[in-house]
Chain A
Amino acid sequence: MKTRIPELRKQHKLSQQELAEAVGVTRQTITSLEVGKYTASLVLAYKIARYFGLTIEEVFDFSDVEEG
């Protein structure tokens, strides 16, 4: 799944570690989310979106997720 996390981090001048601490996960989880190796849970997606003041759809791209 594609995300806008790297772009949003740059905008807010945040390191992966700082974002990780803010949303209560490890830095490795943020790295995996950014490169698309790991898909965030609903709770984590909500925390990240809320941290940037956006909705989940504005941070995570669901276009390549199959329905059903």
Chain B
Amino acid sequence: MMLIKMMTSSFAKPASLEEYRETVKRRRAPLLAGAAAGALIVVLGLAAVPVVCAGMEQVYFLSGLLTGMGSAIAAVSLLAVVKLNRQLRDEQALKNARLEELDERNQAIQKTACTATLVAAMVALIAAVVVFAFVDMAVFRVLYICMLGLMLLYVVVLLVCRRMM
């Protein structure tokens, strides 16, 4: 939900309540897609994993993991859609949601939290890369690619944001 909010509100700030109502309406489609993706993951966990990974030691673990993950994604997405629908019906709830979202202190808190999370993730990833260079070459390669990908993503996002501001 946080990601969808960022995607739909950071680039175009809804000035009026009507614009915000349209923004809230637009948020339902990606959430429903998320619910569908969650349901698909559940199906994969219940039907595909036992067939594809048959004979593997962790087949039950993998099946349970995917089923649980998919259920959680679908449930959270559907709850978010219900919340958005309630906001669309209740004018006061919509006003409150708009105020909470456009409040400049809340936005500053979110930016600080995102920056701190990115820094912590990068530090943890670099530490893990160094450790796994001595422990397991396969894990090291995966982590190294993730680290480079994250750095590249940061640079791309930074350049996009620079062009927009």
Q: Which residues of A contact B (CB under 8 A)?
A: 24-26, 28-29, 32, 38, 40-41, 43-44
Contact A38 B102 (CB under 8 A): no
B21 → A minimal CB distance (Å): 17
Partner among B102, B106, B108 whose Cβ is within 8 Å of the Cβ of A24? B102
- Count contacts on B: residues with CB < 8 A to the other chain: 8
Q: Complex: how many Å from CA A23 to CA B102?
A: 12
Residue in B102, B105, B108 whose Cβ sees the most chain A Cβ within 10 Å: B105
Report A-chain residues with C-beta under 8 Å of the C-beta of B104: 25, 29, 40-41, 43-44
B165 → A minimal CB distance (Å): 14
Smallest Cβ-Cβ distance to B98: which chain A residue: A24
Report B-chain residues with C-beta under 8 Å of the C-beta of A40: 104
Q: Complex: how many Å from CA A24 to CA B100?
A: 10
